[in-house]
Structure 1
Amino acid sequence: MYTNGDSQPDNVRKILKDVRSKKVLNQIMHMINEVLNITETFPLAKGQTAEGLVATVDAALANFLETGSFAISKCPIASTDKGAIIELNEALRVVQDSGQIMVQTGRDFVRDSTSTNKRVIATRSGEILLTAVAKFLILADSIDVKVIVDKVDQLHEAVDKMAAAESKDEVIEHYKIMMSLIEEIDITIRRRAIDLVKPQQRDDLLAARSALRQTAPLLYTSTRTFVRHPEHVEAKRNQEFAVKEMHDALNSLESVLNGRQPEVTFSEYGRIGDLINEIDAFQNRIEIDPRDYRKHTDRPELEERAERIVSGSASIADADNTRESRKQKIVAECNNLRQALQELLTEYEKSTGRRDDSDDIPLGIVEVHKRTKDLRRHLRRAIVDHISDAFLDTRTPLILLIESAKEGDEENTKIRAKMFHEHANEIIHVARFSCQISSDVEGISVIQHTAAQLERLAPQVSQAAILLCSQPTSKTAQENMEAYKNLWFEKVKLMTTALDNITTLDDFLAVSEAHIVEDCERGIKGILANASTPEENAINCGNVDCAAGSIRGRALRVCDVVDAEMDFLQNSEYTESVKQAVRILREQRVDEFAERASNLAYRQEATGLTWDSNKKESEMNEFINACTLVHDAVKDIRHALLMNRSMDDVDSDVEYEVDGVGATSSDANQTISEQENQQNLMRRLPEEEKKKIQAQIDIFKFSQNKFEREVAKWDETGNDIISLANNMCKIMMSMTEFTRGCGPLKTTMDVIRAAQEISSNGSKLEALARQIADQSDDSRTKNDLQAYLQKIPLYCTQLNICSKVKADITQVGNEIVVSALDSAMSLIQNAKNLLDAVVLTVKHAYIASTKFRRVNPNSVRVEWRMAPPKKQPLIRPQKNNTIIRRASERRPLQPAKVLAEFTRNDIEAGDESGDEIDHFNRQQRRIQDGF
């Protein structure tokens, strides 16, 4: 088939590059397949003959010609553009002539398929036919585009006529014409967007369509206002802005339709920041084979990469709204990263010329990854600090501006217009700032594109408010202000949702809790501050009221964000528990807090300067208690969310925090028996021992990653070796989790039984792999496989011995001391050694059974097939929001993308259809809502 680019004729490949429509591409590919059935050698299906193949092409050609003639006769421009119709008919005639030649040469070839000359002639005839068909379809597609472009030109004229209207009736008349054209174009644009081959063009087309629909109401209201109040320069500026936005959107539509690059494109905004790129590249680069390490090249390169990361992190740490505590943590983690890298490089240099395997390099790599992960977390939360502050209240500045304008207070309107500009600049800056640490290309595109729109819109909102201030009773000025207000709030809501999309719920909740504590402290300072004048007392009262308002706003924002996350999950006991925690916060705690804080602020204002110290202390305690209500409710929401996570998914500022993950505590005087849950006891290990165990677990995870790369990629079906290896890995993971006090294993007996199951599976795996080794030709691979097989029974036996993890419990005074360090670390180390042996056994068993297998009918049957991606729904439930946001748990890749990566990386064959499907599915939600 001509689906492979190497099999296609050069002229056909050149033409296919110009195809922009999926329908055209599919038609050409279908014709290619039909022609190939004749010119190439394929096994014929049952009942199929070579003459029948030629007849199929002949029938397909006749159908194509008939359909083409009918389409030309019904072409919308048949009466207006005779030249285009003549060109289409000429292209169809060329298809007919070349098709007849192809059918004839095809018949000659199938009658004498051994003739090389006839094969060459038939192949050339097929190429000529395919070229003719492709040119005709591309020409027909260009005619369809021309029809749409003609409508776009009509809309350009309608916009200009509306802008030139001189009366209210003319505005209404031209607006109706303009909207009818927009509706007509909109339907065609949506169909065209689905049919486009290139995802970037699809995004740009839909972005222009969205801008067109959103700006049309602004053009209507601003033109009516200008007609009504031509003496005001603000009305003229509003109209000019709307006209320019309309023309820019139409120009973008026309450029994309014609296959050109628009001046401003949506797709160009989707660029990942330099800092996140540097961090990703650094983490990929530090894993070096010790034999390949070169001090004079690798050390300078890695050190330079680390310094670029530190420099980028410093720009975030030094930002105005970054908390001092967060800045200090970022600086500390940058230093820790430098230190971890130096220690790793030292280990690489020590390993030069050393043959024995050491855990020092894997441990060093794990430490660098850990420090990078910690730095990422602090950078993310520094960004969330900025987002939380800037988007705490996005409505009040504009509402206050409109209120002043409606009252006709010119001075106050100018002051509030300045405040609105500062607020707008802040949210635009924070939005762009947030993209530095995100790798979500689609989310970044939406944020940057919306930020650019808000930047152009903000001055016009102020102009509309100033115009309303000068004409507060004018209905047209009020409607104009309302249109700009609605568009502003719509864009800000879109921006908020997009920012939520690129931030995790864990980060948001952690930052919200910390900010509530900060607001509480600010309120306490306002209560305790001494006031010597009524003005100072008013300021203190205002600080208390402002702090209370911030706490209330943050709590309601938490409710909105968590509810939105839960809407994307199927209803379950877990989602209900989270929603119940949200309802308690929204319906009980927030209202109770607001009432108590309001009463406190009222009493403070009424008491004035006569507040004594005892009164201040009681009021402070009441404010603290009110804040605690909200803080505890937010904490309950976080705990409810964490109940569905493993400890590996919790990325906390407190490294060993188990709060909300199911940790239990017991009274110190409680009698502890041997039958008590040993997992709980492991959680009570001293912190120093926990860190040592965690270091060993990190090394185990290093081996686990190797396992996933070498073993988990194979399909278990028909391969007992992979099935046994996967089962052993899962059990070993559970055993290592037990040493941290989590996972499915609860008692020592559970661990012992798990070790026995590993030993049984290891024996079966060793027996199967040994059969493969015995049935293989003598080679180095066979010898290596036999050597690795000797290690599996040894490590299984050692794991059985180490599985008797016993937590030694002693009581010193009122404190319980639990110690099990040696047993736990031995257990993890032996699990790691066994996992390494299993990985090497599977790898060499594959080579031995596929490259060195002897022909033996009684040989063990093992099928080595790549594991397909897991089945997942192609379409996720969605709301009317314009952005699909990530939920709190880790989400798998979309099935089409997984399949594309699987095909591209492991099979190394296939086309780009997986990526096209993925882009197509991802854009369906944009088609309905226009971003």
Structure 2
Amino acid sequence: MVVKPGTHQVFNIDHVKSKAVYNLITQLIHEVTNITETFPLEKGQTAEDLVLAVEKSTGRFLHFGDQAIATVPVTQENHHVIDDLRRALDAVQDTGQKMLETGRNFVRDSTSSQKRATAIGVGRQFLNAVAYFLIIADATDVQIIVEKLENVRDLMNSLAKAESKAEVEEIYRILTAQIEDLDITIRKRIADLIEQSQKDNLLAARSVLRCTAPLVYASTKAYVRHPEQDESRRNRDYSHREMLDALDLMARMLRGEEPEGSFASHGRIGDLVNEIDLFQMRVEMDPQSYRREVHRPELEELAERIVSGSAAIADADSTRESRKQKIVAECNNLRQALQELLTEYEKSRGRYDENDDIPLGIAEVHRKAKDLRRHLRRAVVDHISDAFLDTKTPLMLLIEVAKCGDPEDTQHKAHLFRQHASKLIAVSRLACKMSSDTEGVSVILHTAEQLEKLAPEVVNAAYLLCARPDSKTAQENMEAFRKLWFDRVNLLTMAIDGITTLDDFLAVSEAHIVEDCNEGIQGITAHASSPEMNLKNCQRVDCAAGAIRGRALRVCAVVDAEMDFLQPSEYTENAKNAVRILRDNRVMEFSARAGDLVDRQQAMGLGWDATQKDEEMNEFINACTLVHEAVKGIRNALLMNRNMQDVDSDNEYEEDGQTAADTMSKISDQENQQRLMRRLPEEDKKKIQAQIDIFKVAQTRFEKEVAKWDETGNDIIVLAKHMCMIMMNMTDFTRGCGPLKTTMDVIRSAQEISVAGSKLNALAKQIGDESVDSQSKNDLMAYLSQITLYCQQLNICSKVKADVQQVGNELVVSGLDSAMSLIQTARNLLGAVVQTVKAAYIASTKFRRANSSSVRVEWRMAPPRKQPLVRPQKNNAIIRRASERRPLPPAKALAEFTMRR
């Protein structure tokens, strides 16, 4: 039982484990504390009638309690439960009678404070007694479920002792009925539980129970039929142990215990991503609170732990050399950015003037951490792409050779299968290091743990089949283990897909297709000095072609699953069309051409000359290009629904996304200055990015100040948000992205900001005129003059001139100075708007004239973000997440909300 309280104890709501009991108790407390609303007195009724109504309600409760106790199945194990229920119900009756007596005394003399206090105390005792009865009733339900678990356990023990096939079948028939009945009861209990961890653990144990039952049947029959084989005994022991462990986990969770190694205990943020998050959080601090002897060693140690964890991923087997070099470079960049930031912190000690050096240094550290995250994610996806490319072939080959009864070949294929299983498990755990999805991590680690225990038993089943290839029971045993292995591998694959972003997966798949193409070319062009060497070259080309085909089909499956999860739209249709082109046309054509090429190479033997090799190589490259271009088509179709800021990827992503977007634009190359801004030299882009980082600092300050105010009835906040949105679009133009395409768009945006600034000036000036003379009023007027000045400067700087000139063999794009000035002026204007909002608030609330009758603006805190009352239902299957969306800045989100409203 969960709890055995006595009536003298104080009620504790933490004892409640189920929603039903919790809702009953809270409703009861509400009804008693609001008794006049629960039992409203009609005209002519008195307080005595209210006491009678409570008496009738108490009597009904006692009556239904008696009926419920009478329906409890009495067994030798739970007879004490019945006694506890009786005692708890008697306590309800006793405290109820006492409450009615004191209630009558109180209503007869309601002015007596002593009688009121007595009535309250007795009422509290009555509530405690009812709550304890409900808790014990819930504990009784738990005890009944535990007894069902014990019945299944007894049947499992009987099954382990069975000595004939008929006895196994008879016990298993009863066992399946018991499991079905238990499963229905467990499902109801899961739906009624309050704590999510208990739900997850019970769901995991229930899944193991249902999946392992067929395995118990097959392995037990195999052991009864072939007791002389050690493999059959190991299979039987494994399946029985899994069932008993699941039953034990269920029993402990139902009793309220928290077992070690449970499903919920796996749910945690990956170690490496957690350290990166912690590092990014710790680097931000008040410069005046910085202490060299404390913060420098702490941050440097944290950075070294990140570098150490990154090195483990970089040094893994499937990490490409190019990716390893990028990880090493980004680790060094992160160290360098941290040292520069710490130096700025130390320079700022004792200084109270604001400067942008520290915010810019923080932004640089965040950017380097973001770059490191991207390369680490890509390295992990490299491993995932290789390990999960073909999850069926190793086991199928093992089963095929086992059926032939060849011990030596079976042992060899078993070794390959173990390597494959070990790689799946290792890659799964590696993927969890870079994931913040605790639910997905729980599924992956739990499933990987199950596969780790299952893999040796799959090999044992294959050895048993090899020793008795003609035995039907050995075949059925192998089939049961095969099905369970594939089911859990499919679950692991879906879970891995769930924590892997679609952008990362597609970019890595595309890069791997290029690698496989190069591998095939080397197989074609390699010199064959003997027939054996020629055969190896043919196999090399065949393996490369098979890998390309497998990667392409996996891309199709993953994107189709993602599109099925989204609402049908033009975007999903375009993506599905791109998938159909790859799967139905390009893959089939590539397979046919690659197969013909391998056949011709094998037929030619050592007779190829240089001309033929060049022709075959070109043909293979052309075939690979079909698949590669189709994969790029899928990627471009997916990028059409993304903003440039949503793509946290390598440079090729940004270029492809912009190219796809530009093809949709009707603006000519001569008119599209935004495209020309993207063609600035890398050094100029870095300079612009440095100014953008400083602008982001000012934008963050703006959002913290402005987003906390409700814009309803406050035109100052509305105008400020509007100006910020336009300035963000203008700064995006300097990076070659955003909605502004031409110089005229930028000029019109600057004019729009000037109009909004004039309105803001007029409104704030009215607020200043209605306030008393003070320093705050003077500050407000000074900030208003700054807004006017910066709006004029922005009009001048908005005439960004982007031209392309041919200098030697290079294209040079001008416009850097104007772009830099545009960003700097926008930052200054944003800062002036923030100060104006602060000064306007102080002037209108603290220094407002007493005789001022009109209220220009209303300063109210913004309401918290609304949450949906009904959450959309999701599929039970784990769906791959699309490219992870970054949360919108508050001002931008509020602006979009205003536009939709």
What is the DSSP-based 3-state SS (H/G/I as helix, E as strand, rest coil) of the residue aligned with 2:736? coil
Counterpart in the other structure of 2:123: 126
Change (3 A) 1:430 1:113: farther
**What are the Cα deviations for residues 831-858 of structure 1, in whole angstroms up to 9, with x where unaligned?**
2223233334445655666777788763
Cα distance, 1:811 vs structure 2: 4.8
Counterpart in the other structure of 1:653: 650
Query: 1:271-282 alignment to 2 at 5 Å?
Result: 271-282=268-279
What is the DSSP-based 3-state SS (H/G/I as helix, E as strand, rest coil) of the residue aligned with 1:243? helix
Counterpart in the other structure of 2:718: 723
Deviates more, 1:711-720 or 1:204-213: 711-720
Query: 1:78-117 alignment to 2 at 5 Å?
Result: 81-103=78-100, 105=102, 116-117=113-114
Cα distance, 1:512 vs structure 2: 0.9
Query: 1:139-154 alignment to 2 at 5 Å?
Result: 139-154=136-151
Structure 1 letter corresponding to 2:678: R
Counterpart in the other structure of 1:3: none
Change (3 A) 1:189 1:111: same
Task: Establish whether residue 693 from structure 1 lines up as the match of residue 688 from structure 2.
Answer: yes
Distance 1:870 1:612 in 2: 72
Distance 2:214 2:849 in 1: 77
Counterpart in the other structure of 2:829: 834
Which residue of 545, 548, 567 maps to 2:545?
Answer: 548
Change (3 A) 1:622 1:656: closer
Deviates more, 1:573-582 or 1:744-753: 744-753
Counterpart in the other structure of 2:731: 736
Cα distance, 1:685 vs structure 2: 2.7
Query: 1:457-496 alignment to 2 at 5 Å?
Result: 457-496=454-493
Structure 2 letter corresponding to 1:595: A
Counterpart in the other structure of 1:926: none
Distance 2:652 2:617 in 1: 33
Query: 1:398-437 alignment to 2 at 5 Å?
Result: 398-437=395-434
Aligned partners of 1:715 and 1:868 also within 8 Å: no
Counterpart in the other structure of 1:135: 132
Cα distance, 1:502 vs structure 2: 1.0
Change (3 A) 1:671 1:467: closer
Aligned partners of 1:716 and 1:867 also within 8 Å: no
How many aligned residue pairs are there? 877
Aligned partners of 1:777 and 1:854 also within 8 Å: yes
Which residue of 854, 859, 863 maps to 1:858?
Answer: 854
Counterpart in the other structure of 1:710: 705
Task: Establish whether residue 302 from structure 1 lines up as the match of residue 323 from structure 2.
Answer: no
Change (3 A) 1:219 1:831: same
Task: Establish whether residue 322 from structure 1 lines up as the match of residue 319 from structure 2.
Answer: yes
What is the DSSP-based 3-state SS (H/G/I as helix, E as strand, rest coil) of the residue aligned with 2:143? helix
Deviates more, 1:412-421 or 1:752-761: 752-761
Change (3 A) 1:79 1:256: closer
What is the DSSP-based 3-state SS (H/G/I as helix, E as strand, rest coil) of the residue aligned with 1:392? coil
Query: 1:441-456 alignment to 2 at 5 Å?
Result: 441-456=438-453
**What are the Cα deviations for residues 302-354 of structure 1, in whole angstroms up to 9, with x where unaligned?**
22221111111111111122111111111100111111111112222223333
Distance 2:304 2:411 in 1: 46
Distance 2:59 2:713 in 1: 48
Instruction: Extract unaligned runs of 5+ from structure 2.
Output: 1-6, 894-901
Distance 1:735 1:111 in 2: 78
Distance 1:106 1:760 in 2: 72
Distance 2:377 2:874 in 1: 26
TM-score normalised to the size of structure 2? 0.91
Distance 1:217 1:306 in 2: 50
Change (3 A) 1:564 1:278: same
Change (3 A) 1:789 1:195: farther
Query: 1:743-822 alignment to 2 at 5 Å?
Result: 743-769=738-764, 788-812=783-807, 817-822=812-817
Distance 1:455 1:219 in 2: 18
Which residue of 532, 536, 540 maps to 2:533?
Answer: 536
Aligned partners of 2:269 and 2:438 also within 8 Å: yes
Change (3 A) 1:80 1:686: closer
Aligned partners of 1:773 and 1:786 also within 8 Å: yes
Cα distance, 1:644 vs structure 2: 1.0
Cα distance, 1:294 vs structure 2: 2.6
Which residue of 591, 598, 621 maps to 2:595?
Answer: 598
Aligned partners of 2:674 and 2:736 also within 8 Å: yes
Aligned partners of 2:647 and 2:883 also within 8 Å: no
Structure 2 letter corresponding to 1:739: T
Distance 2:761 2:74 in 1: 75
Task: Establish whether residue 259 from structure 1 lines up as the match of residue 256 from structure 2.
Answer: yes
**What are the Cα deviations for residues 614-671 of structure 1, in whole angstroms up to 9, with x where unaligned?**
21121111111111111111111111111111111122222883223346889xxx99
Cα distance, 1:100 vs structure 2: 3.8
Cα distance, 1:169 vs structure 2: 1.9
Aligned partners of 1:443 and 1:501 also within 8 Å: yes
**What are the Cα deviations for residues 707-742 of structure 1, in whole angstroms up to 9, with x where unaligned?**
333333444334433333322222222122222222
Instruction: Extract unaligned runs of 5+ from structure 1.
Output: 1-9, 899-931
What is the DSSP-based 3-state SS (H/G/I as helix, E as strand, rest coil) of the residue aligned with 1:661? helix
Change (3 A) 1:402 1:781: farther
Distance 2:102 2:857 in 1: 48
Distance 1:424 1:324 in 2: 24
Which residue of 22, 32, 45 maps to 1:25?
Answer: 22
Which residue of 572, 578, 581 maps to 2:578?
Answer: 581
What is the DSSP-based 3-state SS (H/G/I as helix, E as strand, rest coil) of the residue aligned with 1:745? coil
Deviates more, 1:695-704 or 1:77-86: 77-86
Cα distance, 1:743 vs structure 2: 1.8
Counterpart in the other structure of 1:207: 204
Distance 1:779 1:129 in 2: 63
Aligned partners of 1:645 and 1:889 also within 8 Å: no
What is the DSSP-based 3-state SS (H/G/I as helix, E as strand, rest coil) of the residue aligned with 2:657? coil
Task: Establish whether residue 677 from structure 1 lines up as the match of residue 672 from structure 2.
Answer: yes
TM-score normalised to the size of structure 1? 0.88
Distance 1:605 1:777 in 2: 96
Counterpart in the other structure of 1:909: none
Aligned partners of 1:664 and 1:680 also within 8 Å: no
Change (3 A) 1:312 1:264: closer
Structure 2 letter corresponding to 1:186: D
Q: CA RMSD in A?
A: 3.2
Counterpart in the other structure of 2:393: 396
Deviates more, 1:605-614 or 1:285-294: 285-294
Distance 1:133 1:16 in 2: 13
Aligned partners of 1:12 and 1:130 also within 8 Å: no
What is the DSSP-based 3-state SS (H/G/I as helix, E as strand, rest coil) of the residue aligned with 2:605? helix
Distance 2:44 2:759 in 1: 49
Distance 1:605 1:493 in 2: 36
Percent identity among equivalent residues?
Answer: 63
Change (3 A) 1:64 1:802: farther
Counterpart in the other structure of 1:608: 605
What is the DSSP-based 3-state SS (H/G/I as helix, E as strand, rest coil) of the residue aligned with 2:433? helix
Deviates more, 1:777-786 or 1:813-822: 777-786
Task: Establish whether residue 887 from structure 1 lines up as the match of residue 882 from structure 2.
Answer: yes
Aligned partners of 2:724 and 2:830 also within 8 Å: yes
Aligned partners of 2:337 and 2:364 also within 8 Å: yes
Structure 1 letter corresponding to 2:862: M
Aligned partners of 1:751 and 1:804 also within 8 Å: yes
Structure 2 letter corresponding to 1:429: A
Counterpart in the other structure of 2:899: none
Cα distance, 1:427 vs structure 2: 0.6
What is the DSSP-based 3-state SS (H/G/I as helix, E as strand, rest coil) of the residue aligned with 2:351? coil
Distance 1:341 1:637 in 2: 39
